[in-house]
Amino acid sequence: MSLDKLPDSIHVFERGWLSSNNVLMLGRDDATLVDSGYMIHAEQTLDLVRHALKGRKLDRVVNTHLHSDHCGGNAALQQKYGCTAWIPVSEADNVRDWDEDKLSFKATGQRCPRFSFDGTLSPGDTLAMADLEWQVLGAPGHDAHSLMLFCQNEGILISADALWQNGFGVIFPELDGESGFIEERATLELIASLDARIVIPGHGAVFTDVAAALKRARTRLDFLSGNPVRNAEYAVKVLLKFLLLERQRMPVDQVPALFASLPIVVAASQRYLGKPPEEVAAWTVKQLVRACSARIEDGYLLNDG
């Protein structure tokens, strides 16, 4: 199956950061969107969905996991279409109570408008989307609650952040002292056991060379797990870049206080980086500037690259 051979009923919206990719599934009698992007891109998400629906109604949103870049458009879609939302079963209580600590939004300094849910998904479930049967697969590693969706008949895998063409998402559980490297390795092995001919990742382009992507991912995982400090350093750079992409500019002298207010950064600083969050902030700013991902002008850290 080549990239132009996705069924006509499946539309992939490849998004730039800060949003995850969105996958619109058009069945004969229903329409489902897999993942909804970040909140500041909600209007763009609505426009993309409206254009592809061509007057139809969106019936359901399915979330692979509840990081803000994957579920930040849920509320806007529910308000517009009255659609249902289906989430990983292990996040049900957190969403019902809207516990932002457990949902990771407070920990990362990211935002997500409150939404409701109507159903849950567990590994082993099946669901119909685009008139095809999809298996729900557990995909812990990047996120303990993450799921993937696999259509065996078509060989299509929606991998979320478990596998990209060049890597995978930050292994966040390790930052809090939980296991994540072992789970990510097991998820990669699960993907290798599938007859997946085309992968729709959470970020980046759809791809078909699954074996090559898995090889790169395993090499990356070996590098990070061999010295967990590397995962922590990568994570704090990603977190600051995400916030900078959203805000575009922030006073440099406020970054230390920002880092000190983010529980995930505090945990990574204490557990792996051996310095207080304020010092980690100064190091992270230097790394982004060195990589041409940011620049400093007139006392402000500006998004770049």
How do residues 193-225 score in pLDDT, each as one tens digit? 999 999 999 999 999 999 999 999 999 999 999
Closest CA to 151 of 197, 96, 193: 197
Instruction: Measure the CA–CA gap between 287 and 292, rounded to whole angstroms.
Output: 9
pLDDT of residue 1: 40
CATH number, domain 3-226: 3.60.15.10
Residue 250 has pLDDT above 90, yes or no: yes
- As a whole number, mean pLDDT of residues 85-111 equals 95
Instruction: Name the residue ranges covered by the structural domains of the chain.
Output: 3-226, 231-303
Q: Which residues contact 51 (CB under 8 A, 6 or more apart)?
A: none
Tokens representing 220 are 């990356």
DSSP secondary structure letter of residue 271: I
pLDDT band at 253 (very low <50, low <70, confident <90, very high): very high
pLDDT of residue 4: 54
Residue 3 has pLDDT above 60, yes or no: no
pLDDT band at 2 (very low <50, low <70, confident <90, very high): very low
Are the C-beta atoms of residues 235 and 264 closer than 8 Å to each other?
yes
Instruction: Measure the CA–CA gap between 4 and 42, rounded to whole angstroms.
Output: 27
Are the C-beta atoms of residues 64 and 202 closer than 8 Å to each other?
yes
Q: Considering the chain, what is the average pLDDT of its residues?
A: 96
Kindly report the pTM of this predicted structure: 0.96
Interval 16-40: pLDDT, tens = 989 999 999 999 999 999 999 999 9
pLDDT of residue 147: 98
DSSP secondary structure letter of residue 275: S
For residue 137, list its beta bridge partners. 148
* Torsion angle in degrees (nearest 10) through CA of 32, 36, 42, 46: -20
Radius of gyration of the chain (CA): 19
Residue 179 has pLDDT above 60, yes or no: yes
pLDDT of residue 289: 97
Instruction: Measure the CA–CA gap between 30 and 61, rounded to whole angstroms.
Output: 11
Instruction: Measure the CA–CA gap between 165 and 5, rounded to whole angstroms.
Output: 18
CATH topology for the 231-303 domain = Arc Repressor Mutant, subunit A (1.10.10)
What percentage of the chain reaches a pLDDT higher than 70?
99
Instruction: Measure the CA–CA gap between 42 and 77, rounded to whole angstroms.
Output: 8
Are the C-beta atoms of residues 259 and 277 closer than 8 Å to each other?
yes
Are the C-beta atoms of residues 285 and 294 closer than 8 Å to each other?
yes
Residue 133 has pLDDT above 70, yes or no: yes
pLDDT of residue 146: 98
Are the C-beta atoms of residues 197 and 7 closer than 8 Å to each other?
no
pLDDT of residue 305: 78
